[in-house]
Amino acid sequence: MVEKAKDFLSAVQMARSTSPKRNFAQSFEIQIALKGLDPKKPEGKIVEEVVLPHYPGEPKKVVAFADGELARRAREAGAVQVLGREEIAELQKDRKQVKKLAESFDFSIAQADLMVFIGKALGPVLGPRGKMPKPVPPTADPTPIIERLKRSVRIATKEQLALNAKIGAESMSDEEIAANARAVLEAVERKLGGDLSKIAAVRIKTTMGKPVEVEVKA
């Protein structure tokens, strides 16, 4: 039987208290089951990047495709890797290395005038994985963009009408995890145009724990 909670804070507290102790740090996840949508149709698909109010554990890894000043700023802002035009051209020759790169980061940004080149060189690998970069003007400060991406999660429906996202770690406070969960649900509600009847269930759980269902109020 699934435990039930009246709000996210209560759900996080229940999930934490009932979770079996493990010899590794567990994560907190949100699971959102949907209904009344056809995932095979465009209007039935949900693909969103949600900026969370708190890091969901470790900051997300951001790669920058840039040259010159933008490359320098991206490096200073915490990009885990910065690749310029020459590196991209070299990478293009080895599809295995492109796949390896794609698995090494969560989000990416790119100098706007490199987007077409990146699309041709890396798009066939990055595109299907939802990891094509966000364009940034060469003179822009990438710091706030990278900071937002480090606090973001990507949610997407596939064949099943369900969304899952990591929203926290055991080391975080209950309030921080609850705030992250709320941000994800609010993003889904906006995508659904506020139609809460399409949300079948919302649950919070730890990696190895049992889910706790959260009451969703219309």
pLDDT digit string (tens) for 138-175?
999 999 999 999 999 999 998 789 999 999 999 999 99
> What is the third-level CATH fold of 62-149?
Rossmann fold (3.40.50)
CATH code of the domain occupying 3-57+151-214? 3.30.190.20
**What is the rounded average pLDDT for all residues in the chain?**
94
Is the pLDDT confidence value at 218 over 80?
A: no
Is the pLDDT confidence value at 217 over 80?
A: no
Is the pLDDT confidence value at 118 over 90?
A: yes
* pLDDT 10s digits, 38-95: 888 887 889 999 999 999 999 999 999 999 999 999 999 999 999 999 999 999 999 9
Tell me if 3-57+151-214 shares its fold with 62-149. Answer: no
Q: Which two tokens stand for residue 103?
A: 């698995």
The whole-number pLDDT of residue 94 equals 95
Name the pTM for this structure.
0.89
Residue burial 142-175, b: 16+ Cβ < 10 Å; e: rest = beebbebbbbbbebebeeebebbbbbbbbebebe
